[in-house]
Structure 1
Amino acid sequence: MSGEPLSLHQRILGDIGAKIVSGAWPPGHRIPFEHELTEQYGCSRMTVNKALTQLAKAGLIERRKRSGSFVARPRSQAAVLEIHDIRAEVEALGAPYRYERLSRTIRSAGKPVDEAAGFADATRLVDIVCLHFAGEAPFCLEERLISLDTVPEAEQEPFETIAPGPWLIGHVPWSAAEHTIRALAADKPTAKRLGVDAGTPCLAVERRTWTGGRPVTHVRLTYPGTSHALVARFTPEG
C-alpha cells in the first residue's frame, strides 16, 4: 500500500538504482562490497545479495567473481533488444511491483492482428491482457498472444499470479526473437488502463519469438512515454 515504509531490500535497490540512473555512478564504477553495504544498512548479507542479484537481472550492474559488482557498461543495441523481466525493472527503481491480469481468453486466430503477428488462420491462441504496476501507478500494459500449437501447456495456466513473460521463459526455450519499437498516442482503452489522458505519447515494444521455427508468442508492451525510455549506448568499434 502507498505510504508504507520501504523495506531494507527496497531501500538498497532504490539507493543504488538512483545513483546509476542519475549518472553519479558511471559505467564501470565499483559498487560497495557486500560487507560494506551490510554495515551501511545494518542488515543481513542475504538482503544485500538479493538486492544486487535483482540489479544484475535488470542489467544495471555486473557481478564478477572475486572482484565485486560494477555499474554495467551498455552493450550496443543489446541494452534495447534483450528480453528483460518487467518485475526486475520495477524493483530496480526501488518501487514495489504488482501484477494484475485483466483478461484471458482462448480463441482461434483469424483477426488482422493475428495475421500481422505471424499466426496462421485457425491457430489456437491464448489472448491475454495484463498490467504491471510500480507502486500504485501502472508501469506497463501487456497485450500478448501465445500459440497453443507450440505451447499447449499454456492452456492450463490461468496467469493469475504469474505474468506470461517469466512463465514462458521457464517453459519454452526460444531460439529467435524480433523487436519493433515505436511511439504511439494512447487510444482511449489504453489510456484508461495506464491511467493517462487519451493521446498521451507512449512507447510500444512489440516482440515476436520462435522456437525451432515455430511461433511462440507475440506481445505488445506499452509504457507511458513520459516515464519510460529505452536507451542503447554504443561506440564506433561496437
Structure 2
Amino acid sequence: MKPLHQKIRDDIEGQIRSGALKPGDRIPFEHELMAHYGVSRMTVNKALTPLDEAGLIERRKRAGSFVRLPRLDSTVLDIPDIQHEITARGEAYHFELLSYTIRTASTDEERELAGSGQVISLTGLHFASAKPLAFERRLINLEAVPDAETIDFTRQSPGHWLLGAVPWTHVENQISAAVAEGQIARHLRLDAGAPCLVVDRRTWRDKARVTTVRQVFDGAAYRLIARFDHG
C-alpha cells in the first residue's frame, strides 16, 4: 500500500493531467485536504511540496495552492506575439487596456521615439487562462504608424496588431531581471519580491522608429530562449 502523502500527490496530479483541474484553478486548502484524507498537515505538505517542485502547482502565501500555468517559451532574437503563443497552447487569451492617451512627445523617451510628433502612450495587461502574465507599457510613434490611432486596443493587443500591420526591419531587445513591487505586483497578482522578467524593446521600420515597449512578465510563467545558427 502506498503512503498517504503519495496517494494525495497522485490524486492531485491525476486531476491536473486529466484536465479536471485547469491552469489557474485552486486546489483544496490544506485543511480541506487534511479533513478529506484524515491526515496531518505535515502529510499534506509532504504531498504538495513535490508538486510545487515539479512545476505543477504554485503555492501562494495566504491564498492557497493553484494549478500552475504552462511556462511560455519565446525566442530572444524575434518579437514574440504573446497572443499567438498563448492561444497556440490552447489557453484563453485577452488583453486588458489600463490607460490610453495621445499626446505630443514631451519626455526624453517620447522625443527619442517621435521627435516633436505625436505618440500613443498606453499600458495594459496580457492574460493567459484568466491569470495576468505580463504588464505592458508602450509608446507608438504616430508619424510612423498613423493607422494606430484608429485601432481599438480594447479588442486586440497593440503588439499583435503591430506585428501584422507594420513589418519591422530592425529590433533591439534588452532583457533583465527584477522583483515585483508596487503597481506591477498588484497588476500581476504577485507577492512583493516575486521574480519578474523584464523585456525592453525598440523597433524600427527602415530608419523610422515605430514603438518602444517595456513588458514585465511573471518570472515563474515565462522564459526567453536564444537560438543561434553557426554559419
What is the TM-score of this pair, normalised by structure 2?
Answer: 0.63
1:99 — aligned with what? Answer: 95
- Asked if 2 retains the 8 angstrom alpha-carbon contact of 1:108 and 1:121, the reply is no
Q: Give, in whole Å, the separation in 2 of the partners of 1:120 and 1:83.
A: 21
1:86 — aligned with what? Answer: 82
Q: Following superposition of structure 1 onto structure 2, how do residues 24-63 of structure 1 map, counting pairs within 5 Å?
A: none
Q: Give, in whole Å, the separation in 2 of the partners of 1:136 and 1:125.
A: 30
Q: Deviations over 1:43-77 (max 9, x none)?
A: xxxxxxxxxxxxxxxx98xxxxxxxxxxxxxxxxx
Q: Give, in whole Å, the separation in 2 of the partners of 1:111 and 1:183.
A: 25
Tell me the SS of whatever aligns to 2:80.
Answer: coil
Q: What one-letter code is carried by the residue in structure 2 that aligns with 1:133? A: F
Tell me the SS of whatever aligns to 1:230.
Answer: strand
Is 1:129 paired with 2:123?
Answer: yes
**Between the two proteins, what is the percent identity of the paired residues?**
41
- Asked if 2 retains the 8 angstrom alpha-carbon contact of 1:80 and 1:232, the reply is yes
Q: Give, in whole Å, the separation in 2 of the partners of 1:94 and 1:155.
A: 31
1:198 — aligned with what? Answer: 192
Q: Give, in whole Å, the separation in 2 of the partners of 1:143 and 1:127.
A: 8
Cα–Cα, structure 1 residues 120 and 79, in superposed 2: closer, same or farther, change >3 Å? Answer: closer
**What displacement does 1:227 show?**
2.1
Tell me the SS of whatever aligns to 1:81.
Answer: coil
Q: What one-letter code is carried by the residue in structure 2 that aligns with 1:128? A: L
- Asked if 2 retains the 8 angstrom alpha-carbon contact of 1:96 and 1:135, the reply is yes
Q: Give, in whole Å, the separation in 1 of the partners of 2:167 and 2:175.
A: 23
Deviating 4+ runs (over 6 angstroms): none
- Asked if 2 retains the 8 angstrom alpha-carbon contact of 1:209 and 1:216, the reply is yes
Q: Deviations over 1:3-27 (max 9, x none)?
A: xx97xxx9xxxxxxxxxxx9xxxxx
**What displacement does 1:105 show?**
0.6
Q: Following superposition of structure 1 onto structure 2, how do residues 64-75 of structure 1 map, counting pairs within 5 Å?
A: none
Q: Give, in whole Å, the separation in 1 of the partners of 2:182 and 2:98.
A: 16
**What displacement does 1:113 show?**
3.7
Q: What one-letter code is carried by the residue in structure 1 that aligns with 2:144? A: T
Q: Give, in whole Å, the separation in 2 of the partners of 1:89 and 1:156.
A: 25
Contiguous gaps of at least 5 residues in structure 1: 11-21, 23-58, 61-77
Aligned residues: 164
Q: Following superposition of structure 1 onto structure 2, how do residues 1-238 of structure 1 map, counting pairs within 5 Å?
A: 79-114=75-110, 118-232=112-226, 237=230
- Asked if 2 retains the 8 angstrom alpha-carbon contact of 1:174 and 1:210, the reply is yes
What is the TM-score of this pair, normalised by structure 1?
Answer: 0.61
Cα–Cα, structure 1 residues 168 and 201, in superposed 2: closer, same or farther, change >3 Å? Answer: same
Q: Give, in whole Å, the separation in 2 of the partners of 1:233 and 1:150.
A: 30
- Asked if 2 retains the 8 angstrom alpha-carbon contact of 1:102 and 1:129, the reply is yes
Structure holding more strand per residue: 2
Deviates more, 1:92-101 or 1:173-182: 92-101
In angstroms, what is the RMSD of aligned CA positions? 2.7
Structure number, greater radius of gyration: 2
Q: Give, in whole Å, the separation in 2 of the partners of 1:86 and 1:125.
A: 23
